């Protein structure tokens, strides 16, 4: 028999290195004679979209077009230390550094021409020439350090992370009680990652996270025997394919984070946190079994269903 | 060494190669077409997908010597001076995250849509199910394929001047 269930998983997640560890980002904005800005930033973009986010923040702050900003990234002979693309920290931390650098630049631009937008290369070139005439710097550095402090282990007081990202996911599953097979039919995700800088990319992060979460919940298991991983290929370490993915619906609760760049917070790691718990809760809702071990393979689910049936039978016999 | 003549992206190449050279290495090392990626190297992940005589294959599992006289399309041969509608659609919907699976995804999509431009969502999902992606969760890739269908139908309509209903 196939039984359906609904489950939820909720989380809060501190982004950044945390616990007082120096969490610093730097960025440099430069105006050039070519009628464009150069943004030097050390974001490693491995598909997480950091480069687009930095460009958008720079464009917003400088009041210019994204096409007029060259991004020079990752070349350590050219860029300052931005910290790692880890801990879901780039949008918040490095975004702030980019914003601070660009604000310094825009303040000087305002001094020479006022609040005017810079729409063309000629506009930017005019500023560049005015800067040279007035002996104004053409390069500005931004620095941002997240405010965390070490937690006092005796009192439990401190500020271990700042800021936190929040979210909840709903999973709908179908469990085959004869085979133990679990199908995920639907995921609905709602996240508060502050103001979303790039909605298309943010959705991509959430859907990708959901796919990793589904793999984590029902497929992926590293089998280790005497220190050696036994399933080292995609034929026995199974990850979701396009056929395994249900529809993922994404909602953003864009609550402004006052310390974030334009109110933004981090999203990378949080994207896969609530999926697996939501799926296990949905399995419980469907067939009444509490799994405490990942993944919910056919064997484990079937064994747990059998065990439950036996328990239920014993209860009935005792009455 | 064996001599083979393989047509890749419309150009015929004749090379003397080791009989055990994989098609993947022929493309990447002999022809320097680095768009075709190696993922697992054992035919599971689909990163090395290319089209051979209209069908997708894993180029890591095919010996180049067996491709004599065959016609291959790699990612470099999909667009011309401009991007192919599939590539434009992928960009527009945000189907690309890290990008490693994308050459294979685009070729699997092309092989499908060249045969069946009206493919349903299920057929699309099945057609790209041999291409593993760790970043995107596939949803935006499927949306990209659907947008590509619309774009290709529009350009086909313009090409034959038959109009759209």
Chain A partners within 8 Å of B136 (Cβ): 204, 207-208, 211
Domain A24-145 CATH class label: alpha beta
Indicate if the pLDDT at residue B161 is higher than 60: no
Give per-residue pLDDT as tens, A4-16.
999 999 999 999 9
Indicate if the pLDDT at residue A221 is higher than 60: yes
With helix as H, strand as E and coil as C, how does A28-66 read? EEEECCCCCEEEEECCCCCCCCHHHHHHHHHHHHHCECH
Q: How far apart are CA A146 and CA A259, in angstroms?
A: 9
State whether B134 and A239 contact (CB < 8 Å). Answer: yes
State whether B138 and A200 contact (CB < 8 Å). Answer: no
Mean confidence (pLDDT) of chain A: 96
Of B45, B131, B140, nearest to A207 by CB-CB distance is B140
Sheet holding B71-73, edge to edge: B11-17, B2-8, B71-73, B49-52, B55-58
For A201, B9, B85, B108, the CA distances from B80, given in Å and listed in that order, are 27, 10, 11, 18
User: Looking at chain A, which residues constitute the CATH 3.30.365.10 domain(s)?
Assistant: 2-14+161-315, 24-145
User: For A281-285, what is the mean pLDDT?
Assistant: 98
State whether B44 and A234 contact (CB < 8 Å). Answer: yes
- Torsions phi, psi for B72 (to 5 deg): -115, 140
Quote the tokens at residue B161. Answer: 């001047």
User: ipTM of this predicted complex?
Assistant: 0.93
Indicate if the pLDDT at residue B46 is higher than 60: yes
Q: How far apart are CA A191 and CA A254, in angstroms?
A: 8
Give per-residue pLDDT as tens, A168-178.
999 999 999 99
Q: How far apart are CA B147 and CA B138, in angstroms?
A: 14
Per-residue pLDDT, B162: 52
Query: Does A306 lie at the interface with B, CB-CB under 8 angstroms?
Result: no
Residue of B nearest to A235 (CA): B44
Of the candidate CATH numbers 3.30.200.20, 3.90.180.10, 3.30.365.10, 3.40.50.2020, the domain formed by A2-14+161-315 belongs to: 3.30.365.10
DSSP A100-168: HHHHHHHHHHHHHHTT--B-SHHHHHHHHHHHHHTT--SEEEEEEE-------TTT--S---SSEEEEE
Tell me, rounded to whole angstroms, the distance of Cα B162 from its chain centroid.
Answer: 29
Nearest to B60 by CA among B15, B104, B122, B17: B104
State the catalytic residues of A. Answer: 269
Q: Which residues make beta-bridge pairs with B57?
A: B50
Chain B partners within 8 Å of A219 (Cβ): none
State whether A234 and B140 contact (CB < 8 Å). Answer: no
Residue of A nearest to B102 (CA): A47
Give per-residue pLDDT as tens, B7-35.
999 999 999 999 999 999 999 999 999 99
Query: Does B120 lie at the interface with A, CB-CB under 8 angstroms?
Result: no
Beta strands (DSSP E) in B35-105 are 49-52, 55-58, 71-73
Of A46, A200, A242, nearest to B138 by CB-CB distance is A242
User: For A99-117, what is the mean pLDDT?
Assistant: 97
Domains identified in chain B and CATH numbers? 2-77 (3.10.20.30), 85-159 (1.10.150.120)
Query: Does B93 lie at the interface with A, CB-CB under 8 angstroms?
Result: yes
Per-residue pLDDT, B156: 85
């Amino acid at each position: 028999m196939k039984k359906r269930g609904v489950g939820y998983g909720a989380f809060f997640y501190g982004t950044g290195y945390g616990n007082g560890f120096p969490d610093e980002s730097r960025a440099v904005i430069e105006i050039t004679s070519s009628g464009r800005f150069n943004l030097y930033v050390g974001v490693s973009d491995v598909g997480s979209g950091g480069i687009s986010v930095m460009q958008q923040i720079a464009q917003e702050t400088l009041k210019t077009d994204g096409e007029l900003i060259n991004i020079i990234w990752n070349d350590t002979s050219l860029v300052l230390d931005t910290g790692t693309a880890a801990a879901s920290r780039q949008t918040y931390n490095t975004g702030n550094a980019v914003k601070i650098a660009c604000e310094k630049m825009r303040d000087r631009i305002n001094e020479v021409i006022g609040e005017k937008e810079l729409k063309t290369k000629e506009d930017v070139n005019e500023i560049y020439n005015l800067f040279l005439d007035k002996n104004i710097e053409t390069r500005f550095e931004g620095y941002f350090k997240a405010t965390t402090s070490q937690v006092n282990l005796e009192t439990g007081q401190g500020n271990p992370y700042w800021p936190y990202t929040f979210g909840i996911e709903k999973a709908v599953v179908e469990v085959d009680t004869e085979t133990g097979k679990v199908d995920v039919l639907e995921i609905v995700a709602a996240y508060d990652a502050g103001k979303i800088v790039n909605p298309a990319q943010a959705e991509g992060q959430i859907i990708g996270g959901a796919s990793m979460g589904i793999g984590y919940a029902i497929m992926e298991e590293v089998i280790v025997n005497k220190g050696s991983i036994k399933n080292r290929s995609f034929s026995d370490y199974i990850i979701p394919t396009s056929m395994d993915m249900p529809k993922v619906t994404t909602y953003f609760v864009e609550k402004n984070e006052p310390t974030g760049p334009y109110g933004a917070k981090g999203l990378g790691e949080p994207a896969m946190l609530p999926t697996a718990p939501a799926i296990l809760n949905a399995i419980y809702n469907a067939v009444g079994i509490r799994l405490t071990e990942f993944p919910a393979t056919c064997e484990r689910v079937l064994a747990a269903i059998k065990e439950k049936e036996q328990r239920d039978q014993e209860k009935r016999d005792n009455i | 060494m064996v001599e083979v003549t393989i047509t890749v992206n419309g150009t015929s190449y004749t090379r003397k190669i080791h009989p055990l050279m994989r098609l993947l290495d022929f493309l990447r090392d002999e022809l320097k077409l680095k768009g075709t990626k190696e993922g697992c190297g054992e035919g599971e992940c689909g990163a090395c997908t290319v089209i051979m005589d209209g069908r997708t294959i894993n180029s890591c599992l095919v010996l180049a010597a067996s491709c004599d006289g065959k016609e291959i399309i790699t990612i470099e041969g999909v667009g011309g001076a401009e991007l192919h509608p599939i590539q434009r659609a992928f960009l527009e919907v945000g189907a690309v995250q890290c990008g490693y699976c994308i050459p294979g995804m685009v070729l699997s999509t092309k092989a499908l849509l060249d045969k069946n431009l009206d493919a349903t969502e299920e057929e699309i999902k099945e057609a790209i199910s041999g291409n593993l992606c760790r970043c995107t969760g596939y949803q935006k890739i499927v949306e990209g394929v659907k947008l590509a269908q619309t774009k290709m139908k529009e350009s086909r309509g313009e090409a034959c001047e038959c109009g759209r209903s």
